[in-house]
Amino acid sequence: MIAGSGSNNTREALELAERAAAAGADGLLLISPYYNTPEPDGMETHYRTVADAVDLPQIIYNVPSRTGRTIAVETATSLAEHENVVGYKAASGDLNRTNEVIERTRAENFAVLSGDDALTLPIVAQGGSGCISVAANVEPQRTVALVGAALAGDFDRARELQYELGDLFRVLFAETNPIPVKEAMAIRGVHAATMRSPLCPLQPETRERLRRVLEELE
Q: Annotated catalytic residue: which of 47, 61, 88, 182?
A: 61
Residue 191's pLDDT is what? 84
Q: How far apart are CA 77 and CA 178, in angstroms?
A: 29
From 78, 42, 85, 84, select the one nearest 61 (Cα to Cα).
85
Residue 192's pLDDT is what? 83
CATH of 2-132, one of 1.20.1050.10, 3.40.720.10, 3.40.50.2020, 3.20.20.70: 3.20.20.70
Question: pTM higher than 0.75, yes or no?
Answer: yes
141-149 CB contacts, 8 Å cutoff, 24+ apart: 142/217, 143/117, 146/120, 146/121, 147/120
Residue 47's pLDDT is what? 98
Active site residue 34: no
Q: Please identify every stretch of the chain with a pLDDT value under 70, giving residue numbers as ranges.
A: none
Active site residue 61: yes
Q: How far apart are CA 5 and CA 111, in angstroms?
A: 19
Q: How far apart are CA 43 and CA 146, in angstroms?
A: 33
Domain residue extents for the chain:
2-132, 155-218
Q: Annotated catalytic residue: which of 47, 88, 89, 182?
A: 89
Please list, in sequence order, all residues whose beta carbon lies within 8 angstroms of the beta carbon of residue 95, skipping any fewer than 6 positions away.
Answer: 119, 122, 123, 126
